[in-house]
Amino acid sequence: MKKIINTSKAPKALGPYSQGVEVKGTLYISGQVPINPETGKMVEGGIKEQTEQSLKNIGAILEEAGYTFDDVVKSTVLLSNMDNFAVMNEVYASFYTEKQPARAAFAVKTLPVNALVEIETIAVR
């Protein structure tokens, strides 16, 4: 049985999908772009600010479902440009100080709302 996870502390889905779905102790979080849920707009700044907001959005969904960043087992980071990898990595490391999950990171042509980064996550209890 799947449970749909939604919180007002993360941006609403930009399409026909859920913020998160939990199935048998595994939480699948849809890709989070750097939209501030309070304003509904992309955060100002560059890759640092955008990565931080994307991870804050993930944190809000994790919290709503009763998980933490320690429960994350896999992340996929999509970047608009691999030149942003080093800065994204520094911000990412500040959220995963221990028990770092497996991760893939790669560049794509274009991201929703012309974001510089999008991050999807899987967490397990």
**Please, which pLDDT band fits residue 90 given cuts at 50, 70 and 90?**
very high
What does the mean pLDDT of the chain come to? 97
Of the pLDDT bands very low, low, confident and very high (cuts 50, 70, 90), residue 108 is: very high
Closest of 27, 14, 26 to residue 59, by C-alpha: 27
* pLDDT tens sequence across 48-73: 999 999 999 999 999 999 999 999 99
pLDDT digits (tens, 9 = 90+) for 7-26: 999 999 889 999 999 999 99
Closest among 64, 69, 58, 77 to 95, alpha carbons compared: 69
**pLDDT band per the 50, 70, 90 thresholds, residue 99:** confident
Q: What is the pLDDT of residue 54?
A: 98
Torsion of CA 77, 98, 62, 89, to 10 degrees: -20
Which pTM was predicted? 0.96
Pinpoint the alpha helices (H) of 1-125: 47-65, 85-95
Domains and CATH numbers, the chain: 2-124 (3.30.1330.40)
